[in-house]
Amino acid sequence: MSEFKFKPFAEMTEADYAEIGFMSGLEIHQQLRTEKKLFCRCPAGCYSREYDAEILRHMRPTLSELGEYDGTALMEFKTKKEIIYQINRETVCTYEMDDTPPFFMDEEALDIALSIALLYNCNMVDELHIARKQYLDGSIPTGFQRTTIVGVNGHIPYKGRDIRIVQLGLEEDACREVSDVGHRRTYLTDRLGMPLIETVTAPDMRTPHEVAEVAQLCRRLVRSTGRVRTGIGAARMDTNVSVRGGTRVEIKGVPRIPRLPLLTYHEAMRQWNLLRLRDELGHRGIKPETFKAEFADVTALLKETGYTPLRDALARGFIINAVVLRGFGGLLDWQTQTNTRFAQEVSDRVRVVACLTTLPNIVNSDTTVEALTTSEWQRICDALRATKDDTVVVVWGDAADAKTGAQEIIIRAKEATIGVPSETRQALRDGTNGFERILPGPDRMYPDTDLPPKRVMRERLTALKLKLPKPIWEREAAYRELKVPEDCIKPLAMSRFAPLFERAVKEWKAEPVAAAVALIQYPKRLRGKGLDVGRLDGSALENVMRAFGEGKLLREALWPALEFISRKGTFDAGKWPPRAAVGEVTRAIKDGVKKLDGMKLHNPVRKGHVVMGMVMARLRGRAAGAVVAPKVEAALREKA
């Protein structure tokens, strides 16, 4: 491998990412805005922390049809978790709890998923096959998620090339985690079973910034349908990253797009540094076949220790194990990510697999952190016959956890001789990532025997195609032609108002700039005033746009009209106050000029603006600014 050394995030160039062979793809989960859940008739999108009952479950691995245990299943079993489900009778029925078979798929959800797959230019499947995807962390009580592939092999244009869409699936959402402490994990079940789509891109992104840009593009594309949920938790992303010689590693649960660049940068850095670590081990003659490590109980040697975490452990009757990693001297301190050392990878594993969640959960002889005394380390090293070429890692817990912990330290250290382990990782707040779980095997999908295949009729697709929004990139180009202000173009292209805007301009000849500003900027301002912009929908807003297009409403009336709708929910152009008569305008100007006398102006040149503001506010959209302005100027000139 090349000698490339990672630079700080801001200094990395496209050429640097090419040098390390950066590749990244996205898996985007987006909730759909439906009334019901996907496979039962419970309501979707009703969240509450209230619950009427709790159910306790234990996870147990079973042999697959091939007679093998799944790696993830075994890991979850090693953790010996108790899972608690909190259940609210309003949002969950016996289906979600695995007591009754599924109902037929929600047709509304399927329509939305098909439409989005069409937008992604996918090849559509003609028969939907429902599969079960294994979920062993307890977030789905049945241990699997029902999922179906709706389209494959799509593509979207990006920077003059295509980003490939591998597949688009329709599936059920999982539970919301409430807490995960020690051996007990608690979930809320209201979100369970809600429909969402999973969009999987090929690893076609070449820099961390591209990952974020493509995520943004996908987000805007699905939002342009107006039929997906928005807000916290409605869209969640996983991203996979690999570098040349590395392993495809998935980072789960990225909550926001702006966090993608730093996260994917750090994963690339971690993999690169783990590969360098492997090479360093190789130089020392440590390969998978020559790797040596063992552990021993050193509780008796540390009875008098002054190190607080160990004193607490001893007080609780815990066991202290020490692991010797032969030839690893200094390597627990090897940098993996910004401010993160290899010791963190080991600690993460111990935390997740042995459930030793109180930190620190290990201490190692390479560390510069003050922990054990020199003589304590010496006693441990003597017991394990460790030399200065070796590293010693200490772990503590009850007898079972301390043993699992020691074994896991050995497993993780041995993986360092191979390179980058297959695992899923979680996004951390500081832009780095931490271990989540061992990567599930490829055999985690199997057919669902409860539901028959479902045909997707050609007529259905044809009908959906007719209602499909124009792709956002086409809309954006068209809006630019119409001279829509730059800051309105992107939001308008993905807005639920886009079809109305297009109709207003085309059918009713509305002036595009004013119409775009009214549909994009005014709702924001109205929300800022605490008004209900949810009312800006349907016929009322359509009436405003039509009246504006047909010349019955001035551009200046758009703001008061939208404000009226967000207060009253309706709009009738016939009942809207008529344009101000000439006399009324003249009176308003005269009063405005008079008021000016009582005011102290810092800038006398602004007189015109001040009077204009007063007049327009008084006439509330019933006079055109272009008509009023010269009259104000004239009145001021006359006075002077």
What residue ranges bind Zn ion (CB under 5 A)?
40, 42, 93, 95-96
Nearest approach in angstroms of CB 91 to Zn ion is 8
Distance, CA of 255 to CA of 439 (rounded, Å): 20
Structure tokens at 454: 């479902």
Which residues, listed in sequence order, are joined to residue 320 by a DSSP beta bridge?
A: 396
Q: Of 103 and 559, which CB lies nearer to Zn ion in the complex structure?
A: 103
What CA–CA distance (Å, rounded) separates 271 from 324? 24
3-state secondary structure of 396: strand
Least distance from C-beta 429 to Zn ion, angstroms? 34
The secondary structure element, H or E, covering residue 210 is: helix 208-223
Q: Which is nearer to Zn ion, 52 or 126 (CB)?
A: 52
Contact 149, 130 (CB under 8 A): no
Please report, to the nearest 10 degrees, the dihedral formed by the alpha carbons of residues 156, 159, 162, 163 taken in order.
-70
Q: Is 38 or 515 the residue whose CB approaches Zn ion more closely?
A: 38
Q: Which residue, 41 or 465, has its beta carbon nearer to Zn ion?
A: 41
In the block, tokens 């597949």 appear at: 167
User: Min. distance of Cβ 88 from Zn ion in angstroms?
Assistant: 11
According to the 3-state scheme, what is the secondary structure of 476-530? HHHHHHCCCCHHHHHHHHCCCCHHHHHHHHHCCCCCHHHHHHHHHHHHHHHHHCC
For Zn ion, the closer of residues 37 and 227 by Cβ is 37
Write down the least CB distance from residue 64 to Zn ion, Å.
Answer: 28
Cβ-based nearer residue to Zn ion, 34 or 426: 34
Q: Which amino acid is at 336?
A: T
> Which neighbouring-strand residues pair with 162?
157
For the record, the structure tokens of 224 come out as 């342009």
In the complex, the smallest distance separating the C-beta of residue 37 from Zn ion, rounded to whole angstroms, is 6
CB closer to Zn ion out of 187 and 548: 187
Q: Which is nearer to Zn ion, 50 or 443 (CB)?
A: 50
Nearer CB in complex with Zn ion: 172/502 = 172
Nearer to Zn ion, 93 or 573 (CB): 93
* Residue 179: Cβ-neighbour burial (10 angstroms; 0-12, 13-18, 19+): exposed
Find, among 195, 134, 193, the residue nearest to 447 by Cα. 134
Smallest separation (angstroms) from Zn ion to the CB of 33: 18
Mapped onto helix, strand or coil, the DSSP state of residue 63 is coil
The H or E element containing residue 342 is helix 342-353
Pick 96 or 267: Cβ nearer Zn ion: 96
Q: In the bound complex, what is the minimum distance in angstroms from residue 36's beta carbon to Zn ion? A: 9
Question: DSSP state, 124?
Answer: E
Say if residue 78 is exposed, middle or buried (CB neighbours under 10 Å; 0-12, 13-18, 19+). Answer: middle
Phi-psi region of 182 (alpha: psi -120 to 50; beta: other; left: phi over 0): left
Least distance CB 196 / Zn ion (angstroms):
16
Both structure tokens of 320? 């202290």
Whether 242 and 249 have beta carbons less than 8 Å apart is answered as yes
Min dist. Cβ of residue 97 to Zn ion (A): 9
d(CA 136, CA 75): 9
At its nearest, how many Å lie between Zn ion and the CB of residue 85?
A: 13
Provide, rounded to whole angstroms, the least separation between the CB of residue 146 and Zn ion.
12
Q: Please state the closest distance from residue 175 (CB atom) to Zn ion, in A.
A: 13
Q: Which helix (H) or strand (E) segment is 54 a member of?
A: strand 53-58
Bridge partners, 57 (sequence order): 83
Residue placing its CB nearer to Zn ion in the complex, 101 or 282? 101
Which two tokens mark 336?
């993996």
Three state DSSP letters for 276-318: HHHHHHHHCCCCCCCCCEEEEECHHHHCCCCCHHHHHHHHCCC
Quick check: 614 and 595 in contact, CB under 8 A?
yes
Least spacing, CB of residue 31 vs Zn ion, in Å: 16
In the complex, the smallest distance separating the C-beta of residue 186 from Zn ion, rounded to whole angstroms, is: 20
Return the number of the residue (1 or 93) whose C-beta is nearest Zn ion.
93
Which is nearer to Zn ion, 88 or 495 (by Cβ)? 88
Q: How far is the CB of 451 from Zn ion (least distance, A)?
A: 15
Helix (H, G, I), strand (E, B) or coil at 587: helix
* CB distance 565 to 634 below 8 Å: no
Phi and psi, residue 452, nearest 5°: -75, 160
CB 210 within 8 A of CB 265: no
| Closer CB to Zn ion, 147 or 391, in the complex | 147
